[in-house]
Amino acid sequence: MNNFCFVNGEIKNINESAIRVKDLGLQRGYGVFDFIRTFNKKLFHFESHMQRFRNSAKELRLELKYTDDEIKTFAETVIEKSKINNPALRLILTGGYLYSYDGSFNPNFIMIPEELPVYPEELYTKGAKLLTFEYQRELPHVKSINYLNDIRLD
C-alpha cells in the first residue's frame, strides 16, 4: 500500500491528508483529472499529460497555481517515496471552495500514486465480455471527474 500523496503544496502521509467536505469536487463533481504512467519510476509523456490536464482545467475555469516544473518536482518526490514499484500517478484538480458570490474558487490539487491492476492471463488469451452503451458525453474534450454514466452501467 502506498503511504504518500500530494495535497495543495504538501507531500503528506495518505492517511493524514484531507480536503474539506465543502469541496465542489465532492459536492458537485466539479473537477478534472489525468493519469500518468511511470516506467522505472520515470513519468511517461509528462508534457502531453500536463497539456491535456491544463486544457481541461481551463475549459472548466479551474486555475492550477503550480508550474509544470513544480508539479514534476512534486510528482517525482511522491513517486520516489511510494512503495509501489512502478506507480501510475493520478492528478486531480477539484473545484475547491466557493468563498464568495463573485465566483472565486480555491481549487484543490492532489496527486496520488496508484498501483496498476494485474489482470488474469485468461483475459488476454480468451478475452472478456464487453458492454456497450451509446450516449453523448458532455464536454468530451475535458477529462472530468464525472464518470456517473460509466458507474451506472457497471
Confidence at residue 37, expressed as pLDDT on a 0 to 100 scale: 96
Question: What CATH number corresponds to the domain at position 30?
Answer: 3.30.470.10
pTM: 0.88
For every residue of 79-122, DSSP letters joined together read HHH-SSSS-EEEEEEE--EE-STT--EE--EEEEEEPPP---HH
Amino acid 80: pLDDT: 92
Note down the domain range covering 67: 4-153
**pLDDT value at residue 144:** 87
pLDDT for position 71: 98
pLDDT of residue 141: 83
DSSP assignment, residue 139?
A: S
For residue 4, which of 66, 92, 67, 78 has the smallest C-alpha distance?
Answer: 78
Q: Give the integer Cα–Cα distance in Å for 26 and 18.
A: 12
Number of folded domains that form the chain: 1
